[in-house]
Structure 1
Amino acid sequence: MQTFLLLAASNIFMTIAWYWHLKGGMNKPLFSVILISWGIAFVEYCLAVPANRIGFAQGWSAGQLKVVQEAIALVVFGVFMVTVLGEPLHWRHFAAFACIMAAVGFLFVGR
């Protein structure tokens, strides 16, 4: 559970680092946006690295860690896309999520 929570928190910071400037920050100089994003991404790394170390120590494979991270990233981005960017969800977003969740399932079968 600790791994999952840390990965979720890290994905929130990474989504913000990558996409915050699309809403209201497009007039900022690119170099400034990059520096601000690096600062936000630093927090993401401070959460993601321990999450992966803890998960690996608990028996998760690198593939399992990555696929779970991608599933979390898709959920976090979906929420960000709707709430911050004001973009609607379409059936293809749900289909992509289903595919990622299937990948998670395949990597955890038999463990």
Structure 2
Amino acid sequence: MPSTGLPLSSSPILLLVASNVFMTFAWYGHLKFKAIPIWVAILASWGIAFFEYCLAVPANRIGHGVYTTAELKTIQEVITLTVFAGFSVLVMKEPLTLNHAVGFTLIVAGAYFIFRGPL
């Protein structure tokens, strides 16, 4: 594999961030365009999701050389929530509440224990 100059541990994270941006738009972007027929929204979402897979599959393939599958899934979930929170506020103009902050904090606490190692 050609060298990108990035540490091997960073590449899957950057690819997962990019893939999550695509997937968030594929799953939720059509909500800004409710006047379009649902079949158009589905086809557009599939088209966007193709690019998400083009990033997510290599991210996991590269990442599995550095992280366990549980760690990869945890990284992906934390990235998903971070990207989704930004999308929710910036694109959908929906506020995040204290309940969201508490829920996200509990997920981050779970991530801590995944990476901490055996108890």
TM over 0.5: yes
Q: Which runs of 5 or more structure 1 residues have no equivalent in the other structure? A: none
Higher relative helix content: 1
CA deviation map 1:25-46 (0-9, x unaligned): 1011111110000000000000
Distance in 2 (CA, whole Å) between partners of 1:66 and 1:37 is: 22
4+ residue runs over 3 A deviation: none
Larger Rg, first or second structure (1 or 2):
2
Distance in 2 (CA, whole Å) between partners of 1:67 and 1:54 is: 16
Aligned-residue sequence identity (percent) comes to 52
TM-score (norm 1): 0.93
Equivalent position of 1:54 in the other structure: 62
Would you say the 8 A contact 1:7–1:48 is kept in 2? yes
Q: Decide which of 49, 72, 80 is 2:79's aligned counterpart.
A: 72
TM-score (norm 2): 0.87
> For the aligned residues, what is the CA RMSD?
1.1
Q: CA deviation at 1:110?
A: 3.2
Q: Which runs of 5 or more structure 2 residues have no equivalent in the other structure? A: 1-9
Q: Is 1:44 aligned to residue 58 of structure 2? A: no
Would you say the 8 A contact 1:67–1:100 is kept in 2? no
Letter in 1 for 2:40: S
Letter in 2 for 1:48: A
How many residues end up aligned between the 2 structures? 109
